[in-house]
Amino acid sequence: MKLEKYSFGIGDRFGQQGKAQLKAFQIAGGSGIEIVPVWNKSNREHQIIHSTPPETRQEADEAVQDLRWKAPYYVDADHINLDTVEPFLDHANFFTLDVADAIGSRISDDEVGGFLKLASPFKGGLMIPGMKASFEVTEELLVQIARKYLGAIREAAAIYVHIADHKGADNFIAEISMDEVEDAQTPLELLFILLMIRHFEIPAQTIAPKFTGRFNKGVDYEGDITRFRQEFERDLLVIDYAVQRFGLPDNLKLSVHSGSDKFTIYPIMGDLIKKYQKGIHVKTAGTTWLEEVIGLAMAGGEALQMAKDIYRDAYVRQEELCKPYSAVIDIDPSSLPGPDKVDQWDSEKYAGTLRHIPGHPDYHPGFRQLIHVGYKVAAELGEHYLALVRKHQGVIAEQVTTNIYQRHIERLFIS
């Protein structure tokens, strides 16, 4: 199983929007851009919603069947490890091996020694084709990188072998992720992480490093975009070099766990992947859920009221809802409108506040992030919430498709 050049991860908290999501990929196909969809859902999300991996599989299969989608598609067991992978094994064909927690875990001197031997040809002034300056690779630096990452990649290998034993090595895509950490990995660290991946014989097809800057959920990128551009470009060159020198899969590509809506850096990424004719995997967070709330708000009446009630509850429970996401959201509580004020809003005001249109006078990133993590509130409303979503599926589907196509696919792959 070989992942295509362009793939795009789509989350769908409540599993209702598979067709509306897939439609965006059909529109892209019509514009000559072939992107394969990957329905991703993490264990954390399943637990909060009380959904299960077979449901995600069913959603994907049904959407594909109903829309007669002929290209490949995938179901991603997102951010799994040995403790959480089990329920996904029969239903996913893409596994994101999350080893962030194993970074810096203990390894023996023997293991470090083994890695140093492997890395010794790269010591000294290392020139990566396409880069203007060489890297200075010292023994000390290699030891430092080994102590930091070798345990994590050994862990990735253990997860990989476990999945391969169950499914057969040719029946799934493996991604290695270490994005949910504080410090970005440098391009040079990435190079030696890739060497470790080779060392442990993991045929990873995508790798998700932590990039410089903040990737908050559902809102734009925050950080130094010049630095991001330089880092992203170097990462692409490092991957090229690693594929050739280490014999990694030739379709190995970067996976950007975007947390969604990184509009500022989409054109940079789009530009660079075109420049080097590289593939990319972009993973979005569950902003489809936000489009459901926008659709409900637009529908008015009891649906708008439910959107307001969700906000009220989320507002009161800020601390609890934000806690699992503390590293990836930034809300200034004092900037949030009070629920009584929101209760006065009409459809347009509510939708305009939540919808991510940079520069729109009503758009409020704090409001958006709070609703983003507030899906637990809707999960608790259960059937009451889902019934209204189904009732207003027409207007919601339009939001979902437009969001993925116009705000994401167009910015990244077309314009």
What is the binding site for Zn ion (CB under 5 A)? 179, 257
User: 257 or 281, CB closer to Zn ion?
Assistant: 257
Residue 267 — left, alpha, or beta (φ > 0 → left; ψ -120 to 50 → alpha)? alpha
Dist. CA 27–CA 90, nearest whole Å: 30
Measuring CA to CA, how many Å separate 383 from each of 58, 113, 358, 378, 393? 19, 57, 33, 9, 15
Residue 248 — left, alpha, or beta (φ > 0 → left; ψ -120 to 50 → alpha)? beta
Find out whether 163 and 85 touch, Cβ atoms under 8 Å.
Answer: yes
Q: How many CA atoms lie within 13 A of 273 on its CB side?
A: 22
Minimal distance, residue 12 CB to Zn ion, in Å:
16
Minimal distance, residue 21 CB to Zn ion, in Å:
19
Contacts of 92 (CB under 8 A, 6+ apart): 53, 56, 57, 74, 75, 76, 77, 172
Q: In residues, how long is the chain?
A: 415
Dist. CA 300–CA 410, nearest whole Å: 29
Contacts of 165 (CB under 8 A, 6+ apart): none
Minimal distance, residue 245 CB to Zn ion, in Å:
27
Contacts of 81 (CB under 8 A, 6+ apart): 97, 98, 99, 101, 155, 159
User: 45 or 179, CB closer to Zn ion?
Assistant: 179
Minimal distance, residue 177 CB to Zn ion, in Å:
5
Minimal distance, residue 238 CB to Zn ion, in Å:
20
User: 257 or 355, CB closer to Zn ion?
Assistant: 257
User: 257 or 392, CB closer to Zn ion?
Assistant: 257
User: 109 or 182, CB closer to Zn ion?
Assistant: 182
Paired tokens of 292: 């459901």
Minimal distance, residue 175 CB to Zn ion, in Å:
10
Residue 180 phi, psi (nearest 5) = -90, 60
Minimal distance, residue 387 CB to Zn ion, in Å:
32
Minimal distance, residue 44 CB to Zn ion, in Å:
11
User: 8 or 345, CB closer to Zn ion?
Assistant: 8
User: 148 or 210, CB closer to Zn ion?
Assistant: 210
Dist. CA 251–CA 109, nearest whole Å: 33
Minimal distance, residue 228 CB to Zn ion, in Å:
17
Minimal distance, residue 78 CB to Zn ion, in Å:
7
Paired tokens of 400: 């979902």
User: 44 or 360, CB closer to Zn ion?
Assistant: 44
Minimal distance, residue 79 CB to Zn ion, in Å:
6
Fill in the DSSP letter of residue 181.
S
Query: Which residue minimizes CB distance to Zn ion?
Result: 257
Find out whether 328 and 259 touch, Cβ atoms under 8 Å.
Answer: yes
Task: Decide: helix, strand or coil at residue 199.
Answer: helix
User: 9 or 352, CB closer to Zn ion?
Assistant: 9
User: 92 or 389, CB closer to Zn ion?
Assistant: 92
The radius of gyration of the chain from alpha carbons, rounded to an integer in Å, stands at 22
Q: How many CA atoms lie within 13 A of 340 on its CB side?
A: 0
User: 48 or 116, CB closer to Zn ion?
Assistant: 48
Dist. CA 409–CA 276, nearest whole Å: 19
